[in-house]
Every structure is written in C-alpha cells, then in structure tokens.
Amino acid sequence: MIKHAKPKNFVYYLKRLTVLAVALCFIMQIPVVIKYFDSIDIEGILDKSELKNVHFKAKVQKIEQGALTAYFMEEHSNPIVSISFIFQNAGAAHDDENKQGMALLAAALLTEGAGDYDSRTFKEAAEENGVKIGFSVSADDFSGSLAFPKANMPAAVNLFKAALYEPHLEEDDINIKKQQLLTALQMQKENPKQLLANKFKEDIFAGHPYARNSIGKAADIQSVTAEEMREFLRNNLAQDNIIVGIAGDLSKNEAQNVLADLFAGLPMKSQAKPLAKIDFSADGVEYSVERKSAQAMTRLAARGTYRDSVDFYPLYIANYIFGESGLSSRLSKIIREREGLTYGVYTYLSNSDAVALIEGGYSSTPENFEKAKELLKKEWLKLGKEGVSAQELDEAKKSLLNSFYLRFATIDGISDMLTAMQKYNLGIDFLDKRNDYIRNVSNKDVNAAAKKYFNSIPDFVNIGVDNLGEK
C-alpha cells in the first residue's frame, strides 16, 4: 500500500466515516450490509493523477441464466453479497394512460407482507438477518436491490422470493400506500422545487409520457386494484427485460445458482415496450410557473447525446468544465463567486431511454435572476465558440480520473455499476477502459463537442419571478 500523506489522510477519514456510519446503524438497529471495499487500493489510486496502471483486481464475468443476463464480480474481502437489477421499460412513464402511479404503487407494496410474512414480520426477518431489500421506479425502469451477509443467504433468498412472487397486496396495506402517494402529490403543490420540476417535464416533454408527474395522478392512484397490480407485475417483470449486477463473496458457480433461485420463476417474456424517442432541440423558449417566492429558480434543457455516441466523452468533459464540477466549474466561478448572483448554478448530462439532454439550473433572488440568466447564456455561447483551454482540460481529466474508483468503495456501488454497464451497453471491460476513454479525449475533441452542443440558447422553465409568463 502506498502511504503518502495526502491520500492517507483522505482514506483515514473515509474509513473513520464508514466506521461511524456502521456504528450508527447498529445503534439505530438498521441492518448493516455495506462495508468498506478493501480490494480497491484507494490510497494508491489517489496517489496517481494519471492512473496509468490501475486496474480492478477482480474481472467482470458474464452470466447467462435462461433469458436473463448478469454481470458478476467475485470479491471475497468482505462476507457480503449485493445484487442490483433493472426491469427495463417498466417504469412510471410506461404506465397505462389511465393508470398513472401503477408501477410506483406496486413497488411500494412488494415488501409490505409477502409469503408467510405480514408487513411487520417481513421487516423483522429482514432486520434479524441483515437483509436489505428495496424496489424503486424511475420514468424508464422498475428496479431493485438485494444485499445480505453471505452466511444468511438462505434467509435472504426466501424473503426476496416471497416479495417478488407472493406479495400479499392486502387492501389495508394498499390503502395506506395510496394515501401516502396522495399526500405526496398534495405536498408537491407547496414545494417550489417540485412545482418547477413538474412544470419542467410538462413543457420540455410535452406530448410524451415523460411529461407525467412521477408520482402519478390522484384519480388513477385511487382506482388501482390489487388484481391490476398483479397483472402489471406479471406483464412487466420477466427474464427477457431484466438485467442484473451481482458482486461479493461468491464463486461464479454460486452466483449462477443464486440467480437461478431468485429469478427462474419469472415469465420468460414481458409485454414491456420501449418509449418513442424524443427529437429534442432547444430554441431559447422560456416558460414560467406562476408563483411568487423569495427565491427564484430555473431549470434549463438543451440537446445532449447518448452514452454510446462518439460525442459522449468529449461532451461529458466539456460540460464537466462548464457546469458539473461543483465550485470548480466555470459557471460557479463566474456567476456565483465572482458576480455573486446565485446561490448555486450547475449543469449535467442526463441520459433517459427516450432522450439525451444537457440539463441544469440555478437559484437566486428575484432581483438577480435575469442578470444571472443573461450571464449564463453568454457563457454558454462562449463555450460553444471558444471551447476550453488546455489547462482546463488537464485539470478536468485529473479530477475525473482520480474520482472514478471512489464509486466502488462499497459492494452496493459495484453491483449498481454492473447493471449500468449493461443498460448503457458500455461493455464488460468498461471498468478497466473507462479512464482510457477520458485520457484519450483531446482538446480538439472537446472543443468540437462544445461547438456542436453549446451553439444555441437552451430552453428555460422559471419559478418565483413576476411578469415572466409563457413566450
């Protein structure tokens, strides 16, 4: 292990925070299933700004189990197993037009009583065995995770299969979850950030399912029945639309066996279908939410590019320099620090199944709102015209290279990345190649991407400013 002062200090505090988090979990009786991932030499990694010779000790392996495909990483430094999975094209945007909220409601109910367990005993059994089970819904996908100490794998498998195949979906539990979603919908009306987020989707994705409220519609939520949820699960959770990442204290043969045990009972084929693509092109249109507020906010959208495009990494770096590198970004240095016009300003690349965007935003006082926007527009077009300097590129590369492996400090982080590698078709060798992709991007590549994607004013959606109106 390389022991230089700066990396050692960082890792020392990282480990101390990890120990503290684990201690708090024990104090609060929260199942502990995540530990520091010792196999990755973080000290050595941080000591190398160029990371020329850093590779994962364990290689990613591919497992095919029926129609199911999984990426697997064998790692024995901790007796922990983590499984992440995604049912593609089964998210909230795929709900039937008159059943908006179906996927979210179903995901919330899978662990509220299943198999031989009622809601209380299910949670007790999970806690006693250190098992973490969760289901979630994005616009695109129905996802979930399972993590457990290897010694308790039989209990973990039993609990997970009960949730996936034998959810009770009792009327009382359904009504409780419905009320929670309805309450969340009502609370959105009092939350400026959420109002802005909803307005953003409505205007930017008008006419597309992405425009829907992420929670659903009140009338639809109230009308959903247990049988309709069971039908949704049967039609959308299948072997042909699931991708899985599994990491931890297992051999490949053990991983194959546990995946077969967990998922072999799924139907072979789903009825899930991809959404129509959005041909998005910003033209400087502005929309507004009619609401007074002490704080004004905006969201912006411009055309981006997908992960499998040759433009992705050049644009990724250009945007990182521009607005995604926190306080080090151009926007933050100019608009926030130098001019003092915003509380915070940012941009980032978003990759949904149906559209790739550059998104961003800022918040400010109403008095500074337009000044900040005009300066953001100016810097946006300046990036497209002039690009980035060699120094900016070098600093961005060092940051992106050095930070990548920190994502894998937990087993959960590994399994999540293994699913993402499949979803975005990154290739089984992505973990070792990703930093080469960053390193090989030239100044010319970045400036060409900046010219292509930062050449016109984004669309804006605003809240908290008088007299904006729709244009």
- The CATH number that applies at residue 353 is 3.30.830.10
Q: Is residue 80 assigned to a domain?
A: no
Q: What is the pLDDT of residue 58?
A: 76
Q: Is residue 110 within 8 Å of residue 55, measured between CB atoms?
A: no
The residue type found at 224 is: V
Q: What is the pLDDT of residue 290?
A: 81
pLDDT above 80: residue 448? yes
Rounded to whole angstroms, the Cα distance separating 193 from 471 reads: 21
Looking at the chain, the whole-number percentage of residues with pLDDT higher than 70 is 87
Question: What's the average model confidence in pLDDT over 84-103?
Answer: 98
Rounded to whole angstroms, the Cα distance separating 34 from 149 reads: 9
What single DSSP character describes residue 458? P
Q: What is the pLDDT of residue 46?
A: 39
Q: Is residue 182 assigned to a domain?
A: no
CA dist list (Å): 187 to 73, 182, 190, 222, 293: 42, 9, 5, 17, 16
Furthest-apart CA pair in the chain: how many Å? Answer: 65
Please enumerate in sequence order all residues whose Cβ is within 8 A of that of 15, keeping only pairs 6 or more positions apart, or say none: 36
pLDDT above 60: residue 9? no
> Please, what is the end-to-end C-alpha distance for the chain in angstroms?
60
Q: What is the pLDDT of residue 56?
A: 62
Rounded to whole angstroms, the Cα distance separating 272 from 241 reads: 8
Q: Is residue 402 within 8 Å of residue 439, measured between CB atoms?
A: no
Name the more confident of 41 and 373. 373
**Domains in the chain, number:** 2
Centre a 10 Å sphere on the Cβ of residue 264 and count the other Cβ atoms it contains.
11
Checking 321-326 for CB contacts under 8 A at 24+ apart, the result is: 321/388, 321/392, 321/393, 321/396, 321/446, 322/347, 322/379, 322/380, 322/383, 322/454, 323/347, 323/348, 323/360, 324/348, 324/349, 325/396, 325/399
Q: Is residue 131 assigned to a domain?
A: no
- Confidence bin at 22 (pLDDT 50/70/90): very low
- How do residues 52-69 score in pLDDT, each as one tens digit? 445 566 799 999 988 899
- How do residues 144-153 score in pLDDT, each as one tens digit? 999 999 999 9
Question: What's the average model confidence in pLDDT over 341-365?
Answer: 97
CA dist list (Å): 255 to 128, 157, 246: 23, 12, 7
Q: What is the pLDDT of residue 23?
A: 34
pLDDT above 70: residue 38? no
Q: Is residue 347 assigned to a domain?
A: yes
Q: Is residue 335 within 8 Å of residue 463, measured between CB atoms?
A: no
Q: What is the pLDDT of residue 10?
A: 37
- Confidence bin at 410 (pLDDT 50/70/90): confident
Rounded to whole angstroms, the Cα distance separating 307 from 104 reads: 27
Question: What's the average model confidence in pLDDT over 221-236?
Answer: 97
What single DSSP character describes residue 165? H
Whole domain around residue 420: which residue ranges?
Answer: 286-463
Question: What's the average model confidence in pLDDT over 30-57?
Answer: 41
CA dist list (Å): 188 to 91, 104, 222: 20, 16, 18
Order of strands, sheet of 344-351, starting from the edge strand that comes earlier in the sequence:
286-289, 459-463, 296-303, 356-364, 344-351
Q: Is residue 259 assigned to a domain?
A: no
Rounded to whole angstroms, the Cα distance separating 348 from 351 reads: 10
Q: Is residue 296 assigned to a domain?
A: yes
CA dist list (Å): 47 to 9, 396, 468: 12, 16, 50
Q: Is residue 185 assigned to a domain?
A: no
Q: What is the pLDDT of residue 391?
A: 97
Rounded to whole angstroms, the Cα distance separating 132 from 30 reads: 9
Rounded to the nearest 10 degrees, how much is the dihedral formed by the CA atoms of 182, 183, 188, 190?
140
pLDDT above 70: residue 201? yes
Average pLDDT of the residues of the chain: 88
Q: What is the pLDDT of residue 55?
A: 56
Q: Is residue 419 assigned to a domain?
A: yes
Q: Is residue 331 within 8 Å of residue 379, measured between CB atoms?
A: yes
Name the more confident of 2 and 137. 137
Question: What's the average model confidence in pLDDT over 401-430?
Answer: 92
Q: What is the pLDDT of residue 54?
A: 52
Query: Helix, strand, or coil here: 419?
Result: helix
- Confidence bin at 405 (pLDDT 50/70/90): confident
Rounded to the nearest 10 degrees, how much is the dihedral formed by the CA atoms of 161, 165, 167, 169?
170
Question: What's the average model confidence in pLDDT over 90-115?
Answer: 97
Q: What is the pLDDT of residue 466?
A: 61
- Token pair listed for 254: 């053990």
pLDDT above 80: residue 312? yes
